């Protein structure tokens, strides 16, 4: 079987979580309790931060994830309009725990740059892994999602 010269696939920009009525009730109740506490203790900065977080959550909840093109070729990885060359990248790992988790993680060489998490949807992780091994080291120590992804999925943010 000939080896692919590039991988092109449409992926979701981010994971959209189904939130039931109970989730909204709990979040509103917790937010209101924190806001009352902030006002009662005179911590108005905390109250302003809570309001800002609420506005951001509402705006993010209204957005539907766009489909973006994931393209991996010999020069690097392109996600939508952003291009990451292999010289910028240190290593990669793939976490595959069907049916919920199929994520490609790209670690940058720059220590202050946050790891890039790419949800791969129905893309075969073995194809991506075999292709990336030609250009990057695989981080075999990472065997679970990042804490931010776990919290995001668990808390449905």
Say if residue 99 is preceded by a cis peptide, omega within 30 of 0: yes
Contacts of 140 (CB under 8 A, 6+ apart): 93
pLDDT of res. 114: 85
Q: What percent of the chain has pLDDT over 90?
A: 32
pLDDT of res. 4: 64
pLDDT of res. 1: 42
pLDDT in tens, 4-52: 688 888 887 766 667 778 878 888 888 889 989 999 999 989 989 988 9
Compute the average pLDDT of residues 59-80: 85
């Amino acid at each position: 079987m000939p080896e692919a010269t590039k991988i092109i696939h449409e992926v979701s920009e981010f994971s959209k979580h189904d939130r039931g009525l109970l989730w909204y009730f709990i979040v509103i109740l917790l937010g209101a309790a924190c806001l009352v506490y902030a006002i009662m203790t005179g911590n108005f900065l905390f109250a302003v931060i809570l309001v800002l977080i609420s506005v951001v959550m509402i705006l993010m909840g209204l957005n539907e994830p766009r489909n973006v093109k994931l393209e991996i070729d010999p020069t690097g990885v392109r996600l939508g309009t952003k291009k990451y060359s292999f010289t910028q990248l240190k290593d990669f790992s793939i976490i595959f725990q069907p049916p919920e988790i199929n994520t490609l993680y790209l670690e940058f060489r720059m220590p202050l740059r946050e790891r890039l998490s790419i949800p791969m949807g129905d893309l075969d992780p073995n194809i991506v892994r075999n292709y990336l091994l030609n250009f990057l080291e695989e981080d075999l120590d990472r065997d679970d999602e990042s804490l931010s992804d776990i919290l995001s999925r668990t808390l449905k943010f």
